[in-house]
Amino acid sequence: MTPATAQTARPAAPAAIIDGTAFATSLRQRVAFEVARIKNQQGLTPGLAVVLVGDDPASAVYVRNKGTQTRAAGMASFEHRLPSNADAETLLALVRQLNDDPSVHGILVQLPLPGHIDSDLVINAIDPAKDVDGFHILNVGLLGTGQKAMVPCTPLGCIMLLKDQLGSLAGLNAVVVGRSNIVGKPMAQLLLRESCTVTIAHSRSRDLPAICRNADILIAAVGRPEMIGADWIKPGAVVIDVGINRAERDGRSRLVGDVDFAAVSQVAGAITPVPGGVGPMTIACLLANTLTACCRIHGLPDPAIAV
């Protein structure tokens, strides 16, 4: 654990690498343990339904991984595919069918949806109790007002990694670069809940490097490959890189984050790599949310894995 006071001195050594793969593995094991327990004690099997519209290859890979990991945790996995020209009413009818299905405790509609479908309409048609993405306006409002909500998976994973690294986050300056509904905004709400002083910055913020240099905790979620350089970083800061971008390097395509990892790791106190940082946490948190949804729907206490 790094005390907050240690964060103003330039670190003598390169940043600690925050191992999201290891943390996610341990979280999935804890979820699987709790799933086995409620199966034995309550006769309940948590179920996750994932809906994919169209044939975007990256989305198809994510959906396949979600199914594999859901089954590996002992939960039921339901996969629904609709063609890219499916109309909104067909998708809404499927969502309503899943809302009414007692074997389904979590519903995830993979985003982005084809342009002719209004994603807000679809998200808000999901039963908020089964909204394991935490994107329904009711869950957004509950999180924003400090009430019990379903919390979006990627920000939830980031908070788990931060608390594991730092212990208490209270009083720290947190800067979130990015203002999406999926990551930036819920991330800011969660950091506020941890008593951070929170700044939301974005691509149009003035003097972004100066804003970032004030951060004890920097969350990069802008979707621009290696945009954040070493001179944007307060020495000793904890840097969480949410970006997953494809970049050409030396004639080869590889995954990079929003942070220039090689340079920033010489200045930061701790940093998540890409791949192997935040990415694996997202699906692990989706499994955790599905278990939590199942417990809440059946009036059981929240599982011990929640933060």
Taking the complex as a whole, how short is the minimal distance between the CB of residue 187 and ligand GUN, in angstroms? 12
**Residue 42 is a catalytic residue:** no
Nearer to ligand GUN, 82 or 108 (CB): 108
Taking the complex as a whole, how short is the minimal distance between the CB of residue 58 and ligand GUN, in angstroms? 9
Candidate list 69, 127, 131, 133, residue with the active-site label: 133
Nearer to ligand GUN, 30 or 136 (CB): 136
* Spatial CA neighbour of 249 closest among 231, 230, 226: 226
Taking the complex as a whole, how short is the minimal distance between the CB of residue 257 and ligand GUN, in angstroms? 15
Taking the complex as a whole, how short is the minimal distance between the CB of residue 63 and ligand GUN, in angstroms? 9
Task: Return d(Cα 264, Cα 190) in angstroms, integer.
Answer: 24
Tokens of 144: 């924003």
Which listed residue (7, 70, 110, 265) binds ligand GUN by CB under 6 A? 110
Residues shown for the chain: 307
Burial class of residue 52 (count of CB atoms within 10 Å of its CB; 0-12, 13-18, 19+): buried
- Could you tell me how many residues of this chain bind ligand GUN (CB under 6 A)? 8
> Which residues neighbour 211 within 8 Å (Cβ) at sequence distance 6 or greater?
175, 199, 201, 205
Which listed residue (133, 194, 241, 258) binds ligand GUN by CB under 6 A? 133
Of the candidate spans 32-40, 80-88, 109-117, 217-225, the one that interacts with ligand GUN by CB under 6 A turns out to be: 109-117
> Which residues neighbour 307 within 8 Å (Cβ) at sequence distance 6 or greater?
156, 159, 160, 163
Nearer to ligand GUN, 110 or 165 (CB): 110
Residue pair 284/133 in contact (Cβ under 8 Å)? The answer is: no
- Please give the residue whose beta carbon sits closest to ligand GUN in the complex: 111
Quote the DSSP letter at residue 268: -
**Residue 147 is a catalytic residue:** no
**Residue 29 is a catalytic residue:** no
Nearer to ligand GUN, 122 or 200 (CB): 122
Task: Return d(Cα 162, Cα 242) in angstroms, integer.
Answer: 13
Nearer to ligand GUN, 182 or 256 (CB): 182
Give the bridge partners for 79, in sequence order: 50
Which listed residue (95, 104, 108, 143) binds ligand GUN by CB under 6 A? 108
What does DSSP say about strands 270-271 and 16-17: parallel, antiparallel, or unpaired?
Answer: parallel
Residue pair 220/241 in contact (Cβ under 8 Å)? The answer is: yes
Residues 137-176 binding ligand GUN (CB under 6 A) are 153-154
Q: How many CA atoms lie within 13 A of 99 on its CB side?
A: 15
Quote the DSSP letter at residue 259: B
The DSSP code sequence of 219-243 is EE-S--TT-B-GGGS-TT-EEEE--
Candidate list 7, 66, 130, 165, residue with the active-site label: 66
Taking the complex as a whole, how short is the minimal distance between the CB of residue 65 and ligand GUN, in angstroms? 12
Tell me: does residue 109 bind ligand GUN (CB under 6 A). yes
Of the candidate spans 41-49, 103-111, 156-164, 194-202, the one that interacts with ligand GUN by CB under 6 A turns out to be: 103-111
Judged by the rule CB under 6 A, the positions of this chain that interact with ligand GUN are 108-111, 133, 153-154, 182
Catalytic residue ranges? 66, 110, 133
